[in-house]
Chains A and B, each alone.
Chain A
Amino acid sequence: MIEIRHVNMVYPNGVRALNDINLNIDRNEFVFVVGASGAGKSTLIRLLGLEFPPTAGKIKVLGKELTRLRRREIPAYRRSIGVVFQDFRLLENRCVYDNVAFAMQVVGARPRDIRRRVPEALEAVGLLDKARMKPQELSGGEQQRVCLARAIVNNPSLIIADEPTGNLDPKTSMEIIEHLKAINIRGTTVIMATHDREIVNALKKRVIALENGRIIRDEQRGEYS
């Protein structure tokens, strides 16, 4: 599902963030990308989200080679993946329901489908009863669950999450992970960058460890270190 070949990333300021990365990720996998700050986790996630192209190498996702996508093909690609951020990125002036519906309106979905899919997504993350509340009336964990609902509402086959529990306490973090697990079981590939040791060790999923922009470890049912 994801094929990464000889990927290098050097930022314009000269920082070498990724060094000859080679990686295969299959459909339905749940993958942790771990490492210290500055190891290159975020860069890898952002490359998958097409925030920028790699300096060298090839990235193939869902059969599409990202480096060959034309500018106007990027939106269609982004619709096929769901993205979750550490800092939530919700619209404060809109309620929970509208935040999730927004992701469907933006891609031109039919109102009928929006009315059907948004409650389903909110139900999946257990927030249907808070649909009319504004993000700032919710706890951090609840806000991140809204983001999960927004990420899955368009039925993506891949979810990429950049430190989704970075701003949350351990108990709330585990809740988010349980939701991600459930999403994964329903057939969505999940790639999550984190430096939360407890979560990684508890789940026993595939772990890819980065250090100084290189893969130093890639284990099925791995641990944090």
Chain B
Amino acid sequence: MLIRNILHYIKEAFLSIGRNGWMSFASVSVVAVSLFILGTFYLVNLNAEHITAELESQVEIIAEVAEDLTAEEIEQLRVTVIQLPEVEEVRFVSKSEALQRLKERMGEEWVEGYEDEERNPLPHSFEIRTIVPQDVPVVAGKLEKIPGIADVEYGAGVVEKLFRVGSVVRWIGLTFMVGLAVTAMFLIANTIKLTVNARSKEIMIMKWVGATEWFIRWPFVIEGIILGLIGALIPSLLLYYLYGEAVNWSQTNINFLPLLPSYLVIGELIKLLLLLGTIIGALGSALSVRRFLKV
């Protein structure tokens, strides 16, 4: 491809954007709105995943140890549990440590009178983490059958529900994102089709004087890419600003559900949006020129 031609293509693309000012504005708006929605979903989805993962990782099993076991028997029990293949970590929590925690959480007056070792009503227990959170119910079932363990607790129904919600959120988000990307592409195809239509006579003359197909196509493809890029730049800047604000707000108002920090996600997001804008623009225009090349 000659440099002269490349300059011609770029010049033509910009001239065309200027000539069809309103149409170009419409294309950019369509891409901007679509990518804004898509970007929002991307951020929501990413954070939903992050929060689910956070909650999933906090799921652990509490296994209460039967009252009458000796220290050696407890140690044997610990070894049995840690040898379960799904188990990652076992932590022994003694009666007094449990009481100490209760005191910290609820206040002095709650434990008053029970602080003596003999009168402490709390049992020894194990806190057990599994390698994958999904194994929690399985491990709980196995623990119940081990002699010496009096009681097993985990957020039974809650855990299962959490996992289910997590994957549903993921799938809905993904479906939406794909749908929006396709919609945006067809919208830009339609808009560029209008600018191509407005120049159909020019294209016909170009064909009659012997222009190659790519000579005709390039200016439109570049026009599409420019429109797609501008359309992607607007939501990128907007989401960059808005997400920063959202993170700040969440830190002061809902700090138990922390959003992913801006620097971790926004760079990826902007790269994704610019890439999508370029692809949408190029594909859209290529789609709409194709029909006019058949003379």
Chain A residues whose CB sits within 8 angstroms of the CB of B208 once the complex forms: 49, 78, 83, 89
Q: Could you tell me which residues of chain A, from 76 to 117, have a CB within 8 Å of some CB in chain B?
A: 76-80, 83, 89, 91, 93, 102-103, 105-108, 110-111
Q: Select one of B2, B205, B212, B213 contacting A102, CB under 8 A.
A: B205
Whether the Cβ atoms of A89 and B201 lie closer than 8 Å is: yes
**B283 to A: closest C-beta gap in Å:** 21
Q: How far is the CA of A55 from the CA of B213 in the complex (A)?
A: 24
Whether the Cβ atoms of B210 and A107 lie closer than 8 Å is: yes
CB of A169 within 8 Å of the partner chain: no
CB of B264 within 8 Å of the partner chain: no
**A50 to B: closest C-beta gap in Å:** 9
Q: How far is the CA of A72 from the CA of B258 in the complex (A)?
A: 59
Whether the Cβ atoms of B211 and A106 lie closer than 8 Å is: yes
Q: Could you tell me which residues of chain B, from 204 to 231, have a CB within 8 Å of some CB in chain A?
A: 204-213, 215
Whether the Cβ atoms of A51 and B295 lie closer than 8 Å is: yes
Given the interface pairs A108-B5, A111-B4, the reply to whether A102 lies near B209 with Cβ below 8 Å is yes
* Most central of A75, A91, A107 by chain B CB within 10 Å: A75
Whether the Cβ atoms of B207 and A91 lie closer than 8 Å is: no
Q: Select one of B8, B207, B213 contacting A72, CB under 8 A.
A: B213
Given the interface pairs A51-B295, A89-B201, A111-B4, the reply to whether A106 lies near B215 with Cβ below 8 Å is yes
CB closest chain-B residue, reference A150: B209
Q: How far is the CA of A51 from the CA of B19 in the complex (A)?
A: 29
**A113 to B: closest C-beta gap in Å:** 12
Q: Select one of A76, A83, A106 contacting B206, CB under 8 A.
A: A106
CB of B160 within 8 Å of the partner chain: no
Q: How far is the CA of A67 from the CA of B96 in the complex (A)?
A: 96
Q: Could you tell me which residues of chain A, from 131 to 168, have a CB within 8 Å of some CB in chain B?
A: 150, 154
Given the interface pairs A108-B2, A108-B5, the reply to whether A89 lies near B211 with Cβ below 8 Å is no
CB closest chain-A residue, reference B293: A71
Report the tally of A-B residue pairs with Cβ distances under 8 A. Answer: 51
Given the interface pairs A51-B295, A78-B210, the reply to whether A108 lies near B205 with Cβ below 8 Å is no
CB of B202 within 8 Å of the partner chain: yes
Interface size on B, residues (CB 8 A): 19
**A101 to B: closest C-beta gap in Å:** 11
CB closest chain-A residue, reference B5: A108
Q: Select one of A77, A83, A107, A150 contacting B211, CB under 8 A.
A: A107
**A103 to B: closest C-beta gap in Å:** 4
**A69 to B: closest C-beta gap in Å:** 12
Q: Could you tell me which residues of chain A, from 53 to 75, have a CB within 8 Å of some CB in chain B?
A: 71-72, 75
**A172 to B: closest C-beta gap in Å:** 22
**A110 to B: closest C-beta gap in Å:** 8
Q: Select one of A51, A71, A76 contacting B210, CB under 8 A.
A: A76
CB closest chain-B residue, reference A107: B210
CB closest chain-B residue, reference A79: B210
Whether the Cβ atoms of A108 and B209 lie closer than 8 Å is: no
Whether the Cβ atoms of B202 and A108 lie closer than 8 Å is: no
**A212 to B: closest C-beta gap in Å:** 27
Whether the Cβ atoms of B209 and A154 lie closer than 8 Å is: yes
Whether the Cβ atoms of B209 and A79 lie closer than 8 Å is: yes
**A78 to B: closest C-beta gap in Å:** 4
Chain B residues whose CB sits within 8 angstroms of the CB of A78 once the complex forms: 207-210
**A111 to B: closest C-beta gap in Å:** 7
**B213 to A: closest C-beta gap in Å:** 7
Additional A-B contact list (8), CB under 8 Å, known A77-B210, A89-B205, A106-B206: A103-B209, A106-B209, A106-B210, A106-B211, A108-B2, A108-B4, A108-B215, A154-B210
Closest 3 CB pairs of A and B: A79-B210, A78-B210, A106-B211
Question: Which residue numbers of A lie inside 8 Å of B, CB to CB?
Answer: 49, 51, 71-72, 75-80, 83, 89, 91, 93, 102-103, 105-108, 110-111, 150, 154
9 A–B pairs (Cβ distance < 8 Å), ordered by A:
A75-B207, A78-B208, A78-B209, A102-B209, A106-B209, A107-B211, A108-B4, A111-B4, A154-B210
